[in-house]
Amino acid sequence: MATQFDEHSDGSPWWGAVFLAVLGATAWLYWPGLNSPYLLDDLMHLPHLAKIHEATSFDQVLSVINGIDPSRASRPLTMTTFAAQYQDWPRQPWMFKYVNLCLHLLNGCLLCLLLLQLGRLRQDEPGYAHMVAVSASCLWLIHPFNISTTLYIIQRSTQLSTLFLLLAMLVYLHGRRRLLEGQGNLFRGYLRMSGSVVLGGILATYSKENGALLPLFILVMEGTLLQRTARPTGWRIWRALFLLTPLLLLCLLIGSEYNLHIVTPANEYNYNLREHILTDFVVLADYLRQIALPSMARMGLTHDDYPVSHGLLDPVHTLPAMLLILAMLGSALLWRKSRPTWAFGVLWFFAGHTLESTILPLHLYFEHRNYLPAMGIWYAVASGFFRFLAKQEIARLRPFLTICGLLYCLLLGSMTRSESTLWGNAPLLAFAWSQQHPTSHWAQGQLATILIMQNQPFAVLEIYKKLLKTNPGNKVIYIDWMRLACHFQEIPAPDLHEVRKTYHSTNMHLPALDLLIDNWLNGTCKNLKKDFILEILAIRPTDAAWIPAQYFAALEYFTALVHHKDNNPELALTHIDAAMRLHPMSLMVFKKMEWLIGMERHAEALRTLETDYSGIRSSPLIRQYELERIENMKKKIKSILDKK
């Protein structure tokens, strides 16, 4: 095989020029989509950036980053990047998407470097290594499946997590090369490898929870492409400490809340555990088909109506999908030594789906879940394609196969440009999604957003009423209706009896409720009276065993904010204490302290700082700042008490 690639050994500058050209082409393909509006969860999480405009201290900025919504609090690095762009909210979604596009291009560069490093470690010929690395990276960059990750602002979390994972693996491979250079470099090699796993894993996980899979990705590389690379003394011990132990702890963490988060998702989603597992086989097969032969009609964000598999033949394609996935996994494990490239591509893909496409109760289908996993598929495809071209017996077919490969790339690029152009036309995009997914709350909700911008509130109300018929247990629609009534006086509030009936059987959507309360507190929701808001916040699900305490703490906290706004500080303190008993959070402690100081109850404020904060688990990124702030506040309060 060595001599078959010698003709390419000096072609690295040419392949570098190709890669730079594809980077520019990728920017051009995505450019129309930068004009797309805020979409779906963007409108749930980004409005809090408005609070930074009003912030007078760093802790108020931190409260926006940390928040009361657990989905924001667990991704502080992602929220920090949004906070850095607070001046772009709400008038410039283009700038948020531009940053996402830059991250996508940067990730493409890091992917290319990672594949080149793998080739060097495997001692592949330079020409072959460059062809595979550049081709795989370019296919990944231009693929239309990545549109919904790059142009959907809130999925910056996926891009940032991928960024830190790729950086960590690059440092890891650099340390791995050090191990091969002799005993004098063992310490430096292991130090780099250890640092990459620890620091890279933390940064990736603080961007999105999938970052915790870094050890698994490294194990896939080691067990396939790098299996024949020499491993020096201490390797087994290091692997056990830095790769296997973190994965074991992750499994224990998930298992420790098995009943809460895995057995009972049917209370929140339209499937049980058995149906979830069956449907995941179909979803994974669907992802693979979309990666190989993408269909624009099946792309987008609005897959909340994805059909659930109730049995092996219900629907009938469930069993074939299961057999396909099991066959791929089995062949990858069986041929791990004889066909390492195939094994790497398959195992990398499934490793990337370990958290989001297995047993955790999440929505069934999201395109962005393939952002990192698809990298392995494209490496296997590119490697297999060039090895096939290198065979002497197909020499006459090489021009034809090369043209077919280029045409396939052009097809992917044209689809990406078309999809990007569609995204750049907000009304057309919303209409297309609503037609493709008539029962999808997300699709109809996006259409409702466009209709609100066009000042058609009654058309939006009709959409909500239709959705309530097809999705009677949906936990967002009534809150969306209330927010519609906030902004349009002619729209009546939903019937309180019907609202109670719905939320007695399910929980309310915290980010949507948070926005509603914000609207009421800042005076932009004059149509809903205080008593109506308090009635909503007083609703509790009949079966609450599956709902985390943080949900009820949030309801109590919102109730406290409403009472404080209504000049009832004592009742506000009662409810904020109830919230902290359920699930204490630092923003509650600081809010209570702020109220007590305003009431000149400095001794109680001091006790709050000394006792209430002690049981709170904050993100390590902000814990130190909070402790410093508490000490400073204690000194100020004590000085006030001393003067008295």
How far, in Å, CA of 77 to CA of 88, rounded?
18
Tokens 């949004």 found at = 82
Q: Are 369 and 159 in contact (CB under 8 A)?
A: no
Q: Which of 116-125, 147-156, 218-227, 537-546 has the lowest mean pLDDT?
A: 537-546
| pLDDT value, residue 60 | 64
Would you tell me how many other CB atoms lie within 10 Å of the CB of residue 137? 27
| pLDDT value, residue 256 | 73
φ, ψ dihedrals at 314, nearest 5°: -135, 85
How far, in Å, CA of 552 to CA of 546, rounded?
12
pLDDT higher than threshold 50 for residue 222: yes
| pLDDT value, residue 113 | 95
Angle among Cα 4, 8, 11 to the nearest 5 degrees reads 175
Kindly state the DSSP code that residue 244 receives in the 8-state scheme.
I
What is the average per-residue pLDDT within 441-446?
Answer: 90
Would you tell me how many other CB atoms lie within 10 Å of the CB of residue 532? 17
Tokens 């009949």 found at = 542
What does pLDDT average to over the chain?
87
What is the average per-residue pLDDT within 489-510?
Answer: 88
How far, in Å, CA of 262 to CA of 281, rounded?
17
What is the average per-residue pLDDT within 214-223?
Answer: 96
As a whole-number percent, the residues of the chain with pLDDT over 70 amount to 90
Burial 328-353 (b: 16+ CB within 10 A, else e): beeebeeebeebbbbbbbbbbbbbbb
What is the average per-residue pLDDT within 231-239?
Answer: 88
How far, in Å, CA of 245 to CA of 218, rounded?
13
| pLDDT value, residue 74 | 65
What is the average per-residue pLDDT within 590-612?
Answer: 81
pLDDT band, residue 43 (cuts 50/70/90)? confident
pLDDT band, residue 67 (cuts 50/70/90)? low
Q: Is 417 left (phi over 0), alpha (psi -120 to 50) or beta?
A: alpha
Per residue in 292-326, pLDDT (tens digit) is 999 988 899 999 889 999 999 989 999 999 999 99
How far, in Å, CA of 634 to CA of 640, rounded?
10
User: What tokens appear for 368 in the block?
Assistant: 């962005």
pLDDT higher than threshold 50 for residue 11: yes
What is the 3-state secondary structure of 163-216? HHHHHHHHHHHHHHHHHCCCHHHHHHHHHHHHHHHHHHHHHHHHHCHHHHHHHH
φ, ψ dihedrals at 611, nearest 5°: -110, -45
pLDDT, greater one: 473 or 531: 531
From the number of C-beta atoms within 10 Å of its C-beta (0-12, 13-18, 19+), residue 184 rates as exposed
| pLDDT value, residue 399 | 87
User: What tokens appear for 11 in the block?
Assistant: 């072609």
Per residue in 353-399, pLDDT (tens digit) is 999 888 787 889 999 999 999 999 999 999 999 888 888 777 788 88
Q: Which of 76-90, 341-355, 391-405 has the highest mean pLDDT?
A: 341-355
Q: Are 238 and 197 in contact (CB under 8 A)?
A: no
pLDDT band, residue 535 (cuts 50/70/90)? very high
| pLDDT value, residue 394 | 79
| pLDDT value, residue 257 | 63
Q: Which of 216-230, 456-470, 604-618 has the lowest mean pLDDT?
A: 604-618
Per residue in 542-589, pLDDT (tens digit) is 877 777 788 899 999 999 999 999 999 999 999 999 998 888 877 788
pLDDT, greater one: 638 or 404: 404
Which amino acid, one-letter code, is at 263?
A: V
| pLDDT value, residue 1 | 38
Q: Which of 71-85, 125-139, 327-341 has the lowest mean pLDDT?
A: 71-85
Q: Which of 51-60, 195-204, 360-369 has the highest mean pLDDT?
A: 195-204
How far, in Å, CA of 29 to CA of 20, rounded?
14
Tokens 């700082």 found at = 609
| pLDDT value, residue 423 | 95
Closest Cα partner for 290 from 349, 354, 210? Answer: 349
| pLDDT value, residue 240 | 94
How far, in Å, CA of 622 to CA of 586, rounded?
10
Per residue in 241-281, pLDDT (tens digit) is 999 999 999 888 887 765 555 544 445 677 888 888 999 99
Residues in the chain, total: 644
Distances in Å between the Cα of 337 and the Cα atoms of 122, 232, 240, 343 are: 14, 20, 22, 8
| pLDDT value, residue 70 | 47
Would you tell me how many other CB atoms lie within 10 Å of the CB of residue 599? 13
pLDDT, greater one: 512 or 290: 290
User: What tokens appear for 135 in the block?
Assistant: 């081709």
What is the average per-residue pLDDT within 401-427?
Answer: 94
User: What tokens appear for 385 in the block?
Assistant: 């394609």
Would you tell me how many other CB atoms lie within 10 Å of the CB of residue 312? 15
Helix ranges (DSSP H) in 309-440: 318-334, 340-352, 373-390, 398-423, 426-436
pLDDT, greater one: 527 or 192: 192
| pLDDT value, residue 382 | 93
pLDDT higher than threshold 80 for residue 40: yes
As a whole-number percent, the residues of the chain with pLDDT over 90 amount to 52
Strand segments, DSSP code E, in 473-564 are none
Bridge partners (DSSP) of residue 609 are: none
How far, in Å, CA of 291 to CA of 295, rounded?
9
| pLDDT value, residue 377 | 95
What is the average per-residue pLDDT within 143-147?
Answer: 95
Distances in Å between the Cα of 98 and the Cα atoms of 36, 124, 366, 636 are: 11, 36, 22, 44
Per residue in 147-166, pLDDT (tens digit) is 999 999 999 999 999 999 99
Whether the CA torsion 213, 216, 221, 222 is positive or negative: it is positive
pLDDT higher than threshold 60 for residue 68: no
pLDDT higher than threshold 80 for residue 117: yes
Tokens 């490093």 found at = 117
Q: Are 356 and 233 in contact (CB under 8 A)?
A: no
| pLDDT value, residue 75 | 83
360, 364, 369, 373: CA torsion to nearest 10: 80
Largest CA distance in the chain: 96
| Domains of the chain, each with CATH number or no CATH | 548-644 (1.25.40.10)
Distances in Å between the Cα of 226 and the Cα atoms of 176, 229, 493, 503, 611 are: 10, 5, 62, 53, 53
| pLDDT value, residue 519 | 87
Closest Cα partner for 68 from 508, 518, 554, 616? Answer: 554
| pLDDT value, residue 624 | 63
